[in-house]
Structure formats: structure tokens, C-alpha cells
Amino acid sequence: MKAIQVNNLTKNFNGVVAVDNITFDVDTGELFGLLGPNGAGKTTTINMLSTLLKKTSGSATVAGFDISKDKDDVRRSIGVVFQEPALDSKLTGRENLEFHSMMYGIGKEDRKARIKDVINLVDLAEKERVLVEKYSGGMKRRLEIARGLIHRPKVLFLDEPTLGLDAQTRRHIWDYIKKLNRETDVTIILTTHYMEEADFLCTRIAIMDQGKFVALDSPTKLKDILGGDVVTLEIEGRADELIDLMESLEWIKTLTQHNNHLSLTLEKGERRIPELIKLANKNNVQVTCVQLRKPSLEDVFLHYTGRMIRQEEANQTERNKAMMRGRMGRRR
């Protein structure tokens, strides 16, 4: 049985399509990722699968239960770690877990054993009696993961699990998530806009953009779609003729322009760079910087959407600001 099955799932908000007819499944024990910028529909998808939001159309089952017809069964079968912290900072780590386990009706003796297990899993045994307000951001995240596991769910949803954490702490959280997936049979589905996070953690990734899946496969296969090396040229001058010429060359597999950058995928990139610079010079285009690397998930997103995730993040931030200004204007 699949842990999650989704068919043509859609969510509209006042005529705006947030999730657009997506279909996928997740195997039991798999670590599956939804990768995309803010506003892509990742959290909305999680909220529908965890029964926090009603779907507009389509269907889905989680742990074998229908998200519309069997909401209570779905909720008993899942754990959720939200983007925003949901801990009581005036309680200790252990007290937070005690309270949460009582909410699930777990008996006293069983509760002690389970708290010990999850506390050890996330390496918080030495801090379990410390007030949460004294925890670091990484410790709080680990405690939230422990809390999401206390009732032994079949499926664990992690919504942007390392959002707002520094790079070192983020990597530590990755290690705990890997450990969790390796040592338990829980199925994990996480959302993220960090390419490195999805690449490191997930067995398969669905890349989301504007509510749709633009690609779905393992990280390796997604990057293999592009093939070869990625050469990025930072240029000055009009590049229309140069781009037309490059697109006619058989050894250039893909070419994408983003502002004053040309991103090309090709074989043996280090040998082709001198030829690319020579072509640019012949077409009165100056190459000011050259980069050579292997394809990343950022390149895959760029290939399918024509935009970079980081740029889309910035655009979404501006759209959110404009929306807020509009709301404030209406209130006046």
C-alpha cells in the first residue's frame, strides 16, 4: 500500500488556483520532497493532506484513509511540524512532550517510554528539563520533530523544517531527519525552497511552480535531464545574434538567458569555454565572468520555468508587499 496517493488534487482561493491538478504517490518509508519558491503551493498541499484545508477537487489518501471522508483517521496517522513554532516556551522540553502525548490519550507508562525514545532520537536527553525559552532555534526544531513522532505516526509532514536556521544548524537538522528516516519506518514528506536540502535528503522530489508540478523524479535523474556541465557566462552587450548562433550548435544542449547571464549545458565544458568566448567576441559581446559546474536542482528549475528559485522568491516577496499595501489602502 502506498503511504500517500494523490489524484488531480486542486485548491482554489477566491478564484486563485493555489494547487493545480497535481497527481503523485509516496511509498511507505520514503522521504519525499516538494521543492519550490514561496507561493508555489507546497504548504497548501501539505495542509490539504493533513486535513487542515478542504480540497476544491480531486482526491487523496494518507495511510490508506481518505482526506475528506476519514479526517479523524488521517489525523491519528500523521505528525506535522509546521513552519511556525508551536511549542510552549514556558514549559520544559519534556513537559511539552508530556502535554502532547496526553492529548493523544497515551497512557502514563507508555508515555514515559515514548518520550525517552524520541528525546534520545533527537539528542535532547540532556536538555529535556530545560525551559524551551532557553533552547536554540535548532533545539526547538528537534523538539518539534520529537513531538511530531510521540504518537508514532505512519506519515510525518515537515513544512520548511530548517526555515530561518543558520547553515550549520540546518545541516544538523538534515542529519537528524536522515537518521529518523533510516531508523524508523515513518514516511516523510517535506517542503523546502532550499535546493541543497532537497538534494541531500529526498529520494524523490516534485518541483512545484505556480501550483503545478513541473518535474518529478530522484535528484540524480532530475539533474541528468540537463546532461553534461553547466557553463554560465556573464555578458555585456546585446546578445540576440550570439544566442541565435549558440542555439544552432549541436554541442549546446540547452541555453537559458536570465538578465545578463547565459546558462548553457554541454559536454566537456572546460574545453568549450575558449570557443564560447571567441564566439561572443565575434558578435561584439563581452564576457565578464565565466563559471563551470555540474548541474544543480536550481538549473533544473531554471530549465523548466525560465526563472531561478531565488529570483522567484524575491518576486514573491514583492507580490506579498504589494498585496499588503493594497489591503492597507482598502482599510483606509
Torsion, Cα 311 81 18 323, to 10 degrees, reads: -60
* Pairwise CA distance, residues 300 & 316, whole Å: 19
C-alpha cell, 282: 565575434
Q: Please check the confidence at residue 323 and state whether its pLDDT lies above 50.
A: no
Q: Residue 17 half-sphere exposure, CB side, CA atoms within 13 Å?
A: 12
Place of cell 526563472: 307
| Average confidence score pLDDT of the chain | 89
Cα radius of gyration rounded to whole Å, the chain: 23
pTM score = 0.81
pLDDT of residue 222: 93
- Asked if 200 contacts 174 with a C-beta cutoff of 8 angstroms, the reply is yes
Q: Please check the confidence at residue 330 and state whether its pLDDT lies above 90.
A: no
- Asked if 235 contacts 260 with a C-beta cutoff of 8 angstroms, the reply is yes
Alpha-carbon distance values, 66 to 4, 75, 77, 255 (Å) = 10, 11, 12, 44
Percent of the chain clearing pLDDT 90 (strictly above): 68
pLDDT of residue 144: 93
Q: Please check the confidence at residue 126 and state whether its pLDDT lies above 70.
A: yes
- Report pLDDT digits (tens) over 244-299: 999 999 899 889 888 889 999 998 888 999 999 999 999 999 999 999 998 889 88
- Report pLDDT digits (tens) over 173-194: 999 899 888 888 899 999 999 9
- Pairing mode, strands 252-258 and 155-159: unpaired
- Report pLDDT digits (tens) over 28-39: 999 999 999 999
Q: Please check the confidence at residue 319 and state whether its pLDDT lies above 80.
A: no
Q: Please give the domain boundaries of the chain with CATH numbers for all domains.
A: 4-219 (3.40.50.300), 227-294 (3.30.70.980)
- Report pLDDT digits (tens) over 216-253: 999 999 988 887 899 999 999 888 889 999 999 989 98
CB neighbours of 322 closer than 8 A, spacing ≥ 6?
none
